[in-house]
Every structure is written in structure tokens, then in C-alpha cells.
């Protein structure tokens, strides 16, 4: 990831910054494209993972659609070249203004999370003289075995519609003339590395499809959301998630009806490994039992460790040789602004360049200006690597 040419370039740049390796992104996109097209699956990129325009334009160039969770994400997707006919829009709290944006944009499908939401979309679509296509987001009550903050598919959850509400949804839909049910949508959580979870999801969807079939309800598409995890421990050994196995699970276990489409909303697995936060050591400070490496990047550039105790591999790319242990922390006035405790690094000194790896997903996208900090720049490999 960091050859000497890149490091020389980095040394001329102001830190912290987000670095994107466009080769890794392209290899990932090639793999998704070739593996999903074996089965004719439809891919929507989950924009929430990274809404950087250059990243989005690259993803769009592969012909994928977009999965949005706000009116602004819809507008950004259109600006970056995603066709409206491939945009899906999810979210438990879609505002009137956002629904209007989506209707005016003529997006492909709303993923609806409640009956009151369907009622509002119906009303606003009527005002526009349109019929909005919707999928209902079903809570399949499948446990994703991931961090509780990013589990979404179990019953006691703000997301989706539970099984006991199906009858009422169907009754209501009959009266909503300006929405058309075209799909069933699912998303059970994120950073799922235990692939048997996806098998469990497929089996549950098969059951749910039977319920709808018994009531003579047939939908054009199934959308299984995102959630496929990446290898945070070994970014260099496993830069590209195993999409071959991932898509094969759905082919094997999900019973699609004739002509029924299968859609995915992949976020993290598309962009996580291409990104790193590059930062410099400001000070090495000796505590009582601990040495602190204080970086110029903090939770403002990468919130995941502070918010979810998430692990990101930390590398000192300026040094090698004899090692020591450091608590690697940021400059923000919060004790949780810590990237790792007792991290083994080559002996580290002021101005060393530190890479926080696997930050392409939910890194830049979750940046904040807390402490009135600047939003860090993005730097792309194709702009700094020799041609
Ligand atoms: N579809 C829906 C409905 C979602 O809620 C999400 C993510 C995705 C697709 C994309 O999931 P992915 O393929 O990226 O796992 N900020 C957290 C992750 C939150 C994920 C929210 N929903 C983190 O940094 O781990």
C-alpha cells in the first residue's frame, strides 16, 4: 500500500488526510461486477459508506445503482452520474422535503419502514400526480452476530416492519392508490463476517415469500441490503472481500420466483479497504506506565474506534526496526479519542507518518468539525502515483 514513492509524496502533504488507493477500489469493483453478473444480480452502492464525489463517480462508472438514506444523498448520487432509475431510498425517518426530492427525481424505489410513512408517500405522490414504487422493509428477526450498534434485523429495533404487522400493511396498501408495491427489502446489520448469517437470511426470506404467495401477492424484486464484512485485521492479505462466496450463498439458498430480481446494497465491502487515514505523530508523551503517541488525526477524522470500539490496523510507515508499545491517541478533548491501546509499533517519534487502515467506509463519511477542526482533504493514488 505504501511504497517509497507514495511516502515521499505524503511527506509533502499537510496531514491528516484521507488517502484512497484507486487500484484497490477498481479491483474491488471488478470483482463485484464479475461475480454478481454471473447471476444477473443488481448492485446499489450504499452511499452512506463514503459520499466522496470522486469515489462515487468511479463506482457509478461500473453501472451500479445507489442506495440512499437522505435527500442530499439522492442529489449527490444524481450529480455523480447515478441514473435515477437505479436509486433506492431507505430510512426510518424520511422527511416530507426528502420524499418530495425523491419523487421529483423519479427514483427507482422507496424502501418503506412503516405504515405512516407509506401513507405520507402516497399522499405526496398523489399531489405530484405520480405513482411511487415501494418495497417494504421487513424485519426478518435474524441475528447478524455483529456489534449491537450495527445490528438492525432483530425484532426490537427501530428499523423495518415486523411479521405481525404484515396483514395490516397489505390492507393499507389496497387503499393507497399512489404507491405500488414492487419489492421486499431486508438489511440485517453490518460488518457481517459469519457468512452463515446470510444463509439464515435467505431461508427466512423463503418463508416470508411463501406467506405472500399464499395471499396471491407477487413482487418483482427482493432486496437483501448490505452488511458484508471486511478483514480489518489483515488489509494487505485480504484487500478484496470474497464476493465469489458471498453471491454464491444467495444463488444456492434463496428461492427467487420466475423473473424475480435480486438487489444488493453494498457499502463497506465496496470502499473500506481502499482508504486510509494518514496522520503524523505530534508528540510522544511518557505516561506512568504507558507511552502515548499523539496523532494529528482524531475521532473527527475517524469516529469508529471511539463510537464502536472498532479496530483499525495502525502502521508507522516512516519507521521500522526495534519496536515499542504505544497508546495511539488523537488530539481531541475526549478520553474516547483513542485509536488503540498498547499498539506495537517501530520506535516512534515526532513527525512519523501513521496510517490508520481500512477507513474507506464510514471514515470520511462520519467526519465532524468537533473542536472546530477542518474537514481533512482527500488524496487519490491516481493523482500522486507516477503515470
Ligand atoms: N442498506 C441499509 C438499509 C443499511 O442500513 C446499510 C448500512 C447498508 C445497506 C450498507 O451496509 P454495509 O454494506 O456498509 O454494511 N457506521 C457503521 C455502519 C452503519 C451501517 C448502517 N447501515 C460503522 O462504521 O460500522
Q: Is residue 151's pLDDT more than 60?
A: no
* Percent of the chain surpassing pLDDT 90: 93
Question: How many angstroms does the Cα of residue 103 sit away from the middle of ligand 1?
Answer: 24
pTM to 2 decimal places: 0.96
Higher-pLDDT residue of 165 and 144 is: 165
Task: List residues bridging with 67 in a β-sheet.
Answer: 46, 88
Query: For residue range 328-370, what is the model confidence (pLDDT) as tens digits?
Result: 999 999 999 999 999 999 999 999 999 999 999 999 999 999 9
CB 364 near ligand 1, within 6 Å: no
pLDDT class of 155 with cuts at 50, 70, 90:
low
The pLDDT value recorded for residue 163 is: 87
pLDDT band with cut points at 50, 70 and 90 for residue 141: confident
Does 92 contact ligand 1 (Cβ within 6 A)?
no
Q: Which of 49, 105, 21 is nearest to 364 (CA)?
A: 49
Q: How many CB atoms lie within 10 A of CB 257?
A: 12
Helix axes 96-105, 115-128, angle to 10 degrees: 50
Residue with CA nearest ligand 1 atom 1: 225
Ligand 1 center to 209 CA (angstroms): 24
Phi, psi (deg, nearest 5) at residue 39: -110, 0
What is the arithmetic mean of pLDDT over 175-186?
98
Q: Is the CB of 73 under 6 A from ligand 1?
A: no
Q: What digits encode the pLDDT tens for the residues 91-137?
A: 999 999 999 999 999 999 999 999 999 999 999 999 999 999 999 99
Kindly report, residue by residue over 201-256, the tens digit of the pLDDT: 999 999 999 999 999 999 999 999 999 999 999 999 999 999 999 999 999 999 99
State the closest ligand 1 atom to the C-alpha of 185, by its place in the atom list counted from 1: 3
Q: pLDDT band at 1, cuts 50/70/90?
A: confident
225 pocket-lining for ligand 1 (C-beta < 6 Å): yes
Query: What is the mean predicted confidence (pLDDT) over 84-95?
Result: 97
The finding on whether 265 has its CB within 6 A of some atom of ligand 1 is: yes
Whether residue 331 has its Cβ less than 6 Å from ligand 1? no
Superfamily of domain 4-17+273-384: Lyase, Ornithine Decarboxylase; Chain A, domain 1 (2.40.37.10)
**pLDDT over 70 at 24, yes or no:** yes
- pLDDT at 142 > cutoff 90: no
Q: Using CA atoms, how far apart are residues 336 and 346, in angstroms rounded to an integer?
A: 24
* Predicted local distance difference test score (pLDDT) of residue 121: 98
pLDDT at residue 145 is higher than 70 = no
Query: What pLDDT score was predicted for residue 215?
Result: 92
Residue 334: all three cell numbers together: 475526549
Query: Is the CATH number 3.20.20.10 carried by domain 22-271?
Result: yes
**Of the candidate ranges 76-80, 129-133, 284-288, 297-301, the one whose mean pLDDT is the lowest:** 284-288
pLDDT at 310: 98
Ligand 1 near 6 CB (within 6 A): no
How many angstroms separate the alpha carbon of residue 146 from the centre of ligand 1? 12
Q: Which residue from 140, 265, 271, 309 has its CB within 8 A of the most atoms of ligand 1, so it is best to mutate?
A: 265
- Per-residue model confidence as pLDDT tens digits over 307-328: 999 999 999 999 999 999 999 9
Distance between Cα 318 and ligand 1 center (Å): 33
CA-closest residue to ligand 1 atom 19: 150
Domain boundaries, the chain: 4-17+273-384, 22-271
- Model confidence at 387: pLDDT above 90: no
pLDDT at 264 over 70: yes
For a ligand 1 pocket test, name from 43, 45, 46 the mutation site with the most ligand atoms within 8 angstroms of its C-beta. Answer: 46
Q: Over range 75-100, report the average pLDDT.
A: 97
CA–CA separation, 119 vs 164, rounded Å?
19
Amino acid at each position: 500500500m505504501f511504497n517509497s514513492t507514495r511516502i515521499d509524496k505524503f511527506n509533502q502533504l499537510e496531514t491528516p488526510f484521507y488517502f484512497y488507493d484507486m487500484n484497490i477500489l477498481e479491483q474491488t469493483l471488478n470483482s463485484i461486477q464479475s461475480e454478481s453478473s454471473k447471476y444477473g444480480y443488481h448492485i446499489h452502492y450504499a452511499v452512506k459508506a463514503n459520499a466522496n464525489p470522486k469515489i462515487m463517480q468511479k463506482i457509478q462508472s461500473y453501472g451500479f445503482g445507489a442506495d440512499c438514506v437522505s435527500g442530499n444523498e439522492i442529489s449527490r448520487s444524481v450529480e455523480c452520474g447515478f441514473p435515477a432509475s437505479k436509486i433506492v431510498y431507505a430510512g426510518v425517518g424520511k422527511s416530507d422535503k426528502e420524499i418530495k426530492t425523491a419523487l421529483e427525481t423519479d427514483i427507482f424505489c422507496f424502501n418503506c419502514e412503516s405504515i405512516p410513512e407509506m401513507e405520507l408517500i402516497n399522499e405526496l405522490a398523489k399531489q405530484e400526480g405520480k405513482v411511487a414504487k415501494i418495497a417494504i422493509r421487513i424485519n426478518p428477526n435474524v441475528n447478524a452476530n455483529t456489534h449491537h450498534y450495527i445490528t438492525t434485523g432483530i425484532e426490537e429495533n427501530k428499523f423495518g416492519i415486523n411479521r405481525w404487522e404484515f396483514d395490516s400493511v397489505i390492507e393499507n396498501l389496497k387503499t393507497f392508490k399512489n404507491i405500488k408495491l414492487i419489492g421486499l427489502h431486508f438489511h440485517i446489520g453490518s460488518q457481517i463476517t459469519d457468512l452463515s448469517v446470510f444463509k439464515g437470511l435467505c431461508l427466512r426470506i423463503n418463508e416470508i415469500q411463501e406467506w405472500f404467495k399464499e395471499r396471491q401477492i407477487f413482487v418483482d424484486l427482493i432486496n437483501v441490503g448490505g452488511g458484508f464484512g471486511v478483514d480489518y485485521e489483515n488489509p494487505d492479505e485480504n484487500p478484496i472481500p470474497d464476493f465469489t462466496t458471498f453471491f454464491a450463498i444467495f444463488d444456492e439458498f434463496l428461492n427467487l420466483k420466475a423473473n424475480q430480481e435480486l438487489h444488493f446494497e453494498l457499502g463497506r465491502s465496496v470502499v473500506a479497504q481502499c482508504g486510509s487515514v494518514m496522520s503524523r505523530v505530534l508528540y510522544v508523551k511518557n505516561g506512568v506506565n504507558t507511552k502515548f503517541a499523539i496523532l494529528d488525526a482524531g475521532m473527527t477524522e475517524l469516529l469508529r474506534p471511539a463510537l464502536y470500539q472498532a479496530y483499525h490496523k495502525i502502521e508507522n510507515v516512516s519507521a521500522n526496526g526495534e519496536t515499542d508499545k504505544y497508546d495511539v491517541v488523537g488530539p481531541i478533548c475526549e478520553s474516547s479519542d483513542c485509536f488503540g491501546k498498547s499498539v506495537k509499533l517501530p520506535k516512534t517519534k515526532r513527525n512519523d507518518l501513521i496510517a490508520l487502515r481500512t477507513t474507506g467506509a464510514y471514515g470520511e463519511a462520519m467526519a465532524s468539525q468537533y473542536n472546530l477542526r477542518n474537514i481533512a482533504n482527500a488524496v487519490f493514488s491516481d493523482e500522486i502515483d507516477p503515470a
